Structure 1
Amino acid sequence: MDMNIVGTMTQVLVVEDISQVGHARRTAQQLAEKCGFDSNDAGRVALVATELASNILKHANRGELHLRALPRATGIGIEILAIDRAQGFDLQACLTDGFSTGGTQGIGLGAVSRQAEVFDVYADSRGAVLLTRLYPRQDKAPDRRIGISQHSLHNDPACGDVWHLAFDGPRISALVIDGLGHGEEAERAARAGEKAFAQLPFASPLVALEDIHLAMTATRGGALAIAQFDGGSDTLTFVGIGNIGACLVAADKSRGLASHPGIVGGQYRRAQPFDYAQVNGQLLIMYSDGLQSRWNLQDYPGLVHRHPAVIAAILHRDFCRGRDDVTVLVIALEAAHA
């Protein structure tokens, strides 16, 4: 197996005052150093965080930076997303070197894009999301086109949602569990299921489901979805119990993936996995019920072609219910993940 990634929450930094720009810079740099970046690469992370935070204050007055460590087979990268709800901004001007965002060197987002190994942006009248991913310069492994946005209710240190990803050549196995309720007991239930899944993430979905069910029996239980993509055969297998939403999205259409009623670790009827063919090039989106289900990427022209991390951030920004933990997982289904 190439990688087995244990899910973590998104770190959120509110940006609404100039003093918070320095905090964002220090937090991002410290995360980079913790992830093994040398002084030069950690400096790039600090520079990018500074410019993104300053850009929020200039164009939106208020927004957030979302930070995440990105485990890779060759090391760890850093993801920084700048998110706002402003009425849009002049993207082309911001991409010009020397365009000052106030209180910075005025390096412009164009220079930021060259500092980052991955740069993407989506902006409309609802606001903007800017994505940067930075890797140590010696790390030449390709970027994985996945995006995760996970947040606990009221910034609780415990999160009842859990996600897990495993990669094996052209195969991807993805898990999302929503422990009943929220808080520590919900997290304990979800982590018990994740631990069982991580042992054999590429077992058949029904075998994996039974293992997870047994592991969660002594907990309050929860909802679950497992999706397995095989880039070699261009197929996706999906099984779900409870209210984890999932869909396959192409440029011109979207189809929901069916789940069965019940509670994993409690009671559910015999589950049936569903197989989907010719899914290469589509997006797999999985989300807990902390996200509203009535969204449509067609309402965001061109968004389906943006990086999955941008898509996950926009869905969280615009459709978070605000009364439960929330997880959004977006995967570009493509053999290039190998």
Structure 2
Amino acid sequence: MLGTDSLTGLHAIRSRRDVGPLVEAVRELASRMGFGSAPAALIATATSELATNIVRYGGGGEVALRRVWEPGRRGLAVVARDRGPGIADVEAALRPGYSTGGGLGLGLPAVVRIMDDVAIATSPDAGTRVVALRWCHRSASADEQPCGIALKPLQDDSRCGDTAIVVEEGERWGVAIVDVLGHGREAHRLARRLLRRLRGEDWSDPAALLDRLHVHVRGSRGAAAGVSLVDAARGRVRHAGVGNTVTAVVGTSVQRLTGRSGVLGGTMPRARAFEAPVAAGDALVCWTDGLADRAVRKALPELGAGPAPVLAAQLLERCARGTDDAACVALRISG
């Protein structure tokens, strides 16, 4: 497994002195993830732009460095938050040379050029949040990866309405499984919209996160979803779910984590979080109802000790019903 735990996490940005250590951390993190020297330097440049603008114009703030896994790819996310007055005109802020001294606006064109995806949320009351992500194109072996995501669309193409994401920030891991209602292009589009939102979200309270996702996609076709926060240092997992996705801790036994009835974006009660213990070597495994539940329960004791990417792939291969989109995600908890 790649040794990056001490490099991901939250960095307070109060003065220029905080920018240098952050830039060195993101450069080292990118290098350990398998980015070449040139991409690592570019990611460091984008991070420096965001952090410097927090100091100059944003009234202080923080930058989180995260590893992100989505189906078929992994990347490095830089999540910058300031306490400034917000960006009055985001479209103008993305034009080269724009600056009003209003927060994270200056330097955004460079960040957009360097990173593969940039999402901006801003308001006068809440300041500005920028989520800048770059994908890593170096392949990694199953033994190097702490997690695995496997998908199988009902239709014979890549458009799957079931999906998952894993986010690492320090010793905490966020894991989400999503099953959008229906199939095809529109279901896939909503699934991608939820993933993009989850990259930069606050995972500290899974119930509150699920409630925010509900508001974010209200009026859509809706989805079932499970959101979990694994705190390796405390040996605990907190989980909130809605609908018929399943999440379980797999160790010496299999402990299922409870969700609630409802539809994300449709009719949903206020989310509730449930907590359970986890230990080093356990796996957190989540799956949608595209996998036959009885078959999964039968397979887990045999497959549960393998590398997380292999576990997710084999569960999907053995247990997919073949009558629905299907997704499975597994995270191996390290000591």
Aligned residue among 122, 134, 139 for 1:78: 139
Runs of 4+ in 1 over 6 A off after TM superposition: none
Q: What is the rounded CA distance, in whole Å, between the counterparts of 1:275 and 1:2 in structure 2? A: 26
**What are the residue-to-residue correspondences of 1:21-170 with 2, within 5 Å?**
75-78=136-139, 118=141, 143-170=144-171
Give 1:50's aligned residue.
Answer: none
Task: Please give the residue correspondences for 1:218-229 in structure 2 after superposition, counting only pairs within 5 Å.
Answer: 218-229=219-230
User: CA deviation digits over 1:232-254, x for unaligned, max 9?
Assistant: 1111000100011111111x311
Other-structure match for 1:318: 318
RMSD over equivalenced CA pairs, Å: 2.5
Give secondary structure in 2 for the equivalent of 1:323.
Answer: coil
- Where do residues 195-214 of structure 1 align in structure 2 (5 Å cutoff)? 195-214=196-215
Unaligned runs of 5+ in 1: 11-71, 80-117, 119-131, 134-142
Corresponding residue SS for 1:263? coil
- Which aligned pairs between 1:250-289 and structure 2 lie closer than 5 A? 250=251, 252-289=252-289
The separation in 2 between residues aligned to 1:4 and 1:329, in whole angstroms, is 16
How far off its partner does 1:74 sit?
10
Q: Deviations over 1:43-86 (max 9, x none)?
A: xxxxxxxxxxxxxxxxxxxxxxxxxxxxx99944326xxxxxxx
Contact residue 180 and residue 221 of structure 2 kept, 8 A: yes
Deviations 1:75-116 (A, max 9, x none): 44326xxxxxxxxxxxxxxxxxxxxxxxxxxxxxxxxxxxxx
Alpha-carbon contact 1:236-1:277 (below 8 Å) kept: yes
For the Cα contact (< 8 Å) 2:248–2:284, is it kept in 1? yes
CA contact (8 A) 2:70 2:149 kept: no
CA contact (8 A) 2:248 2:285 kept: yes
Q: Deviations over 1:312-336 (max 9, x none)?
A: 122111110111111110111124x
* Unpaired runs of at least 5, structure 2: 1-63, 74-132
Counterpart in 2 of 1:7? 70
Alignment pair present for 1:249 and 2:250? yes
Q: State the 1:213 CA deviation.
A: 0.7
C-alpha spacing 1:154/1:255, structure 2 compared with 1 (3 Å)? same
Q: Percent of aligned pairs with the same residue?
A: 25
CA contact (8 A) 1:192 1:215 kept: no
The 1:180–1:300 alpha-carbon spacing in structure 2 relative to 1, beyond 3 Å, is closer
Residue in 1 that maps onto 2:191: 190
Q: State TM-score, norm by structure 1.
A: 0.57
2:239 counterpart residue number: 238
CA distance in 2, matches of 1:310, 1:171: 22
Q: Report the TM-score, using the length of structure 2 for normalisation.
A: 0.58
Aligned residue in 2 for 1:332: 332
The answer to whether the 8 Å contact 1:174/1:227 transfers is yes
Tell me, in whole angstroms, the C-alpha distance in 2 between the residues paired with 1:301 and 1:233. 25
**What CA distance in whole angstroms lies between the structure 2 residues aligned with 1:261 and 1:278?**
25
